[in-house]
Amino acid sequence: MQNNYATYGDVAIVGTKGYCFEGLDSWEHAQMLVEREAKRLEESFEAARADGYSRFLMFLHYPPTNIFEKSSVFTKMAEHYHAEQVIYAHCHGEARFHDSIRGRKHGIEYSLVSGDFLRWHPKKIMD
């Protein structure tokens, strides 16, 4: 998903690739990517809201924060739009599983769903 949303009942599913700094590129380049992805995500939220949706699930490929952050533009956006859940992956390898938020924070459930973390057992997101 990019600049749009999908629906499941009365829930709008928004998402984007996201990005988090892992030290593999310059901080400036990483910030440019974060800003681009945040804009795409905001457009998705706004499109869903304009169509009357008020319940949101937010999907990201990358974690919403990196090891240096307790919050980010992505967590702030989830809070602003009152997302019920933020679902993400990319944390490959047990050494990376704790690099971002997991569990409930500010009323939002954050779930890491990478295959290796879940030991290849899908996680039920909602009924």
Please work out, in degrees rounded to the nearest 5, the angle formed at the alpha carbon of residue 8 by the alpha carbons of 7 and 13.
50
**What b-and-e string marks burial along 20-48, b requiring 16 or more CB atoms within 10 Å of the CB?**
bbeeeeeeeebeebbeebbebbbbbbeeb
Query: Do 18 and 88 contact (CB within 8 A), yes or no?
Result: yes
Would you write out the chain's pLDDT as a tens digit for each of its 127 residues?
778 999 999 999 999 999 987 778 898 998 999 999 999 999 999 999 999 999 999 999 999 998 888 899 999 999 999 999 999 998 767 777 877 889 999 999 999 999 999 999 999 998 7
C-alpha 101/C-alpha 112 separation (Å) is 8
At residue 74, φ and ψ (nearest 5 deg) are -75, -40
